[in-house]
Amino acid sequence: MKRNSNQYDVIVIGAGSGGLNIAGFMNRINLKVLLIDKSDKNIGGDCLNFGCVPSKALIHVAREIYAGKKSEKFGRNISGNIDIKKVMDYVREKQEIIRVHENAEHFRKIGMTVELGMAKFTGKDSVSVDSKEFFAKKIIIATGSRPRTFELEGLDKVPVYTNETIFDIETLPNNLVFVGGGPISLELGQAFTMLGSNVTIVHGGTKLLEKEDLEVGVFMKNELESMGIKIILNSRPKKFENGELVVTTPTGEMRVPTDAIFAGIGRVLNIENLDLENAGVDLSEDKSKIFVDKYLRTTNKNILTVGDIAGGLMFTHAAELHAGVIISNFFSPLKKKLNTDSFGWVTYTSPEIATFGLGKVELEKRKIDFQEIESSLDEDDRAIVDSSRGFLKVFVGKKGKVLGGTLVAPQAGEIVGELILAQTKGLTLADLFNRVAPYPTAARIIKRVASKYQANKLTEKAKKILRFLWGCKI
């Protein structure tokens, strides 16, 4: 084919969240867009197929089942085993509802060209798919990441799952071991505990959730252990033998009964086989990452990255943030750098963990003066009647400006939006204190922290002034 017939304004390689955001916008303004993914089932990316959507559907079912079990304390008797196949049928049902608008036929109908197959760079402005070559002014790499795996002696004798395979499970393991103490292991480990598995978490670090404050990791360790989950920190799996995972710890070896293993030890970027050298795109020395600048451009400025492949924060909404930066820079003469200072994320455990803005380590690194205001859910009326546990910690700068923080609470991901907005817009705790919060909503924990901050401002000097204004003699 002639080059002109296969010339596009934008080629997007990878139809996950970031790629679809860019392709969708460019298509809406009637630019010529080519969307490439390796198969129709992969459209939607990790989030739809192996991540956010199936995991949250599973967590939803697990919470309902667990709530039923807890009703036994009020005299109700519940019996029977969980049919994991029916659970996974529910998960797939919800995926298919979303997939109606995330498939090749849908995107072709709205005007995009869609090619299914493996993309390879053939030049600085060109890629090929199954021997067909395509050219574009801008090319977006949005190929995402995959779960990291590991090898151990005897591992071939036990089922080993990742987030890409766990939702195809057909038998509920009696003893399920999660290797890794990050968000995925905690979310799914807790869910499988609620479904009836005996769960053990083996983690090489000294605390769970290493990207969170120490207090969060300690709280969740206690919470998980109270549910019967066994947690082994500062440890590594050594081998599998005789139905047990042998784990090395500082005090010696432990043997953990194991029917199945989940590998939650990080992610690997999908950059192999792209032939990036043909496009002038440089990689890190170990070939595991792409060199990316603050505008999400590679060393070939017309080839950009979005989502996991850009490095840094690996979340669906991070890919959305990347897409916004890229689209803005396509059209604006004032180029915008990626800024994650107002970024937030949620770990969907019970209770949930919602973190936003700048954390303590980053604030100290930047030498920003701040106060730490904290309130426990033990002091919150709604949490008391709901038997909820957790806390809110907010980092406050000069004049009470909200800088960041963490909320650990049921539905924390829904409640924290108010704080994210405050931090994004430069609002203060005084602004939050002055709004009328309906009683007794769970979000009043924010009002409680704001009240503590206001109370700290009531110095002896301020009290004297108020008494004088009242008419008292000082």
Domain boundaries, the chain: 3-44+102-146+268-331, 155-265, 344-460
What is the pLDDT at residue 3? 53
Residue 95 C-beta-side C-alpha neighbours within 13 Å: 24
Of 72-76, 221-225, 370-374, 445-449, the poorest mean pLDDT is in 72-76
- Identical fold for domains 155-265 and 344-460, yes or no, is no
Gap between the terminal Cα atoms of the chain: 92
**Encoding tokens for residue 247?**
């784990």
H runs (alpha helix) in 100-182: 104-109
In this structure, what DSSP letter does residue 438 have?
Answer: P
State mean pLDDT over 89-104: 95
Residue with the two structure tokens 């492949």:
309
Beta strands 175-179 and 198-202 are parallel
Kindly calculate the radius of gyration of the chain based on its CA atoms and give it in whole angstroms. Answer: 25
State mean pLDDT over 283-302: 96
Burial label, 113 (beta-carbon count in 10 A; 0-12, 13-18, 19+): middle
**Pairwise CA distance, residues 61 & 70, whole Å:** 14
Query: Percent of the chain scored above 70 by pLDDT?
Result: 99
Of 23-27, 84-88, 469-473, the poorest mean pLDDT is in 469-473
Binning pLDDT at 50, 70 and 90, where does residue 466 land? confident
**Encoding tokens for residue 173?**
């393991």
Count CB atoms within 10 A of the CB of residue 158.
18
What is the pLDDT at residue 42? 93
Name the residue type at position 4. Answer: N
Per-residue pLDDT reduced to its tens digit, 189-217:
999 999 999 999 999 999 999 999 999 99
Identify which has the larger pLDDT, 4 or 302: 302
CA 234 to each of CA 186, 200, 217: distance values in angstroms, whole numbers, following the listed order: 16, 14, 14
CA 378 to each of CA 5, 139, 352, 389, 391: distance values in angstroms, whole numbers, following the listed order: 66, 52, 16, 7, 8
Give 35-91 as a DSSP string.
EEES-GGGTTHHHHHTSHHHHHHHHHHHHHHHHHHHGGGGT--------HHHHHHHH
Cβ-contact 86, 49 below 8 angstroms:
no
Residue 370 C-beta-side C-alpha neighbours within 13 Å: 25
Burial label, 329 (beta-carbon count in 10 A; 0-12, 13-18, 19+): middle
State mean pLDDT over 437-451: 94
> Is a pLDDT exceeding 90 seen at residue 71?
no
Q: Domain 3-44+102-146+268-331: which topology?
A: FAD/NAD(P)-binding domain (3.50.50)
Per-residue pLDDT reduced to its tens digit, 367-394:
999 999 999 999 999 999 999 999 999 9
State mean pLDDT over 11-20: 97
Cβ-contact 394, 371 below 8 angstroms:
no
> Is a pLDDT exceeding 60 seen at residue 59?
yes
Per-residue pLDDT reduced to its tens digit, 102-150:
999 999 999 999 999 999 999 999 999 999 999 999 999 999 999 999 9
* Mean per-residue pLDDT over the chain, rounded: 95
Count CB atoms within 10 A of the CB of residue 103.
16
> Is a pLDDT exceeding 60 seen at residue 2?
no
Task: Please give the model's pTM, rounded to 2 decimal places.
Answer: 0.94
Binning pLDDT at 50, 70 and 90, where does residue 456 land? confident
What is the pLDDT at residue 1? 43
Superfamily of domain 344-460 in CATH is FAD/NAD-linked reductase, C-terminal dimerisation domain (3.30.390.30)
| Closest of 293, 432, 315, 446 to residue 45, by C-alpha | 315
Helix or strand or coil: residue 140?
strand
Cβ-contact 70, 50 below 8 angstroms:
no
Q: Which CATH architecture has domain 155-265?
A: 3-Layer(bba) Sandwich (3.50)
